[in-house]
Amino acid sequence: MKIMILLPTHDARLCVQLAVALPILLQRFAELGTASCVVHRTSSHVDENRNALHRQWLASDCDACLWLDSDIELLDPRRLADAVVACPMELAGGLYCRKDHSNQLAAKIDPVGIPIWLGAGCLLVRRSLAERLPAQPWSSAMVDGTFHGEDVMFCKRARDAGVATIGVLDVQLRHWGLHGY
């Protein structure tokens, strides 16, 4: 398995906790026999940034990508690497609270506990899914008069492409938000 870690930022900053965790994450992937690399891109336009990174990943020989937002703290990066390597799902992510510090999840979970969508702050995507998605899978949209961010729409497009279940990675994350670092 070869994985590309994608780091989209709007102003080139990473929270210190993520910067410290990345070498540990990469080392653990190596210990698990999983090749990995990190790609960082800065743009103030979220959809454009994610789509450019998505295209760069698809042009590579990597089997999967792991999206990590610049304001996400990996409380145990080794555990994240273990969870990613062990995950059989085409789409899975970590649960964390919204950046408004409301203690609400950046996710929508159905009544039986299955994610309808997950925030893209820590999201694993397999190539088998990505190849079934539209050319610009990361784009916000208005649906029935409600604005949905690019992460919500990405998960909707994944479901439309045949993903029946979105997995949850057994990891601990903290969402710092824009002003936490």
The reported pLDDT for the residue numbered 177 is 74
Q: Pick 2-175's CATH classification: 3.40.50.880, 3.90.1170.40, 3.90.1150.10, 3.90.550.40.
A: 3.90.550.40
Contacts of 180 (CB under 8 A, 6+ apart): 15, 71, 99
The reported pLDDT for the residue numbered 179 is 52
Q: Are 10 and 44 in contact (CB under 8 A)?
A: yes
The reported pLDDT for the residue numbered 91 is 97
The reported pLDDT for the residue numbered 176 is 85
The reported pLDDT for the residue numbered 130 is 97
pLDDT in tens, 68-89: 999 999 999 999 999 999 999 9
The reported pLDDT for the residue numbered 100 is 76
CA pair distance 136, 172, nearest whole angstrom: 30
The reported pLDDT for the residue numbered 89 is 96
Instruction: Parse the chain into domains and list their residue ranges.
Output: 2-175
The reported pLDDT for the residue numbered 181 is 40
Question: Tell me, what DSSP letter sits at residue 119?
Answer: -
> Which residues in the chain land under pLDDT 70?
101, 178-181
